[in-house]
Amino acid sequence: MKQLKTIQHKVASPFVNMGAIKLRQPLPSEGVENVDPFLLLHHYGPYAISEFNNPFDLGAHPHRGFEPITLLFKGEQLHRDSLGNEMVVKAGDVQWTTAGRGIIHAEAPTKEFVKKGGDLEGIQLWLNLPAKHKMMTPKYQHLEAANIPRVSSEDSKVELHIIAGNQQEKQGPITTQTSVNVFTVYADKDGEMKVELPETHQSLLYLLEGAIVVNGTEVLEKGADQMVVFNQDGNTITLKAKEKSTILIVSGQPIKEKVTQYGPYVMNTQTEILEAMRDFQQGKMGYLY
Ligand code: MN
């Protein structure tokens, strides 16, 4: 039986500073510490990138203990990491990094894109790993837009891209360590869709662009409230687009372990954080040229 999930929080997407970079951070934000297993959601851009304005250049930095995921919506980035990967990420593509015991990576708009100029916009999502997988061998999954399975709404006005997990019997290509759904949704004006999410999952919906009504009552609009977090009490959510909209929907089985987070590391204890800092200093997370 289909039952709507009830809404736990409805929140805005305030700007924060990450170094010199200005971006939106709905998670964590006031009233929403995390949505276990999701720890952080950054929405960057759209930035008008040019040779005179290139604010989103993330130099080499380490990670351990979780999965940093980038979903690119506009523009073109170069991903490089200590596993030897060097990939151009285009609009609609996904880079899914499993940091495991340690990886060093860098991302920035490609030189060609900076020279040509254009909008850059993306999402960075931090997905926790359970204690037993925190020190797993690091890996990188690159998913091109053309290889992402899609399903449509009955009115054909909404298209949902399955990056990880499943919807309407279709399976996303990304391999995950726990049960996780990551969907991007592109809706035309007046389009309506039902999305099924397991009752046991914690889940959220984030609006990048446009305006929508969630579950028939909750209005989200760019610049006002942009995210809803659902309770673990139903198996369906609905959305209706008031205008052309872009949406992210994620859900996951909660890990329910103590999280100790410091900078680019997400572990279970302080001791493990100190070990991560030491291992990075000693070069144990590899090297990025
Ligand atoms: Mn990173």
| pLDDT at site 55 | 87
CA of 268 to the centre of ligand 1 (A): 19
Residue 220 lies in a domain: yes
CA of 166 to the centre of ligand 1 (A): 26
Ion ligand 1 — residues with CB < 5 Å: 68
Residue 218 lies in a domain: yes
Residue 148 lies in a domain: yes
CA of 105 to the centre of ligand 1 (A): 6
CATH code of the domain covering residue 137: 2.60.120.10
Q: How big is the chain by its Cα radius of gyration, in Å?
A: 18
Closest residue by Cα to residue 129 from 110, 92, 150, 103: 103
The Cβ-side half-sphere exposure at 9, using a 13 Å CA radius, reads: 21
CA of 254 to the centre of ligand 1 (A): 23
pLDDT averages per 10-residue partition of the chain, 289 residues = 94 92 95 94 96 90 98 97 96 98 96 96 98 98 98 98 98 98 98 98 98 98 98 97 98 98 97 98 92
CA of 168 to the centre of ligand 1 (A): 32
Residue 289 lies in a domain: no
**Spatial distance between the Cα atoms of 57 and 233, rounded to a whole number of angstroms:** 41
Domain residues for 274? 7-281
CA of 103 to the centre of ligand 1 (A): 9
| Domains held by the chain: number | 1
Residue 127 lies in a domain: yes
CA of 59 to the centre of ligand 1 (A): 9
| pLDDT at site 69 | 98
Residue 287 lies in a domain: no
**Spatial distance between the Cα atoms of 149 and 162, rounded to a whole number of angstroms:** 6
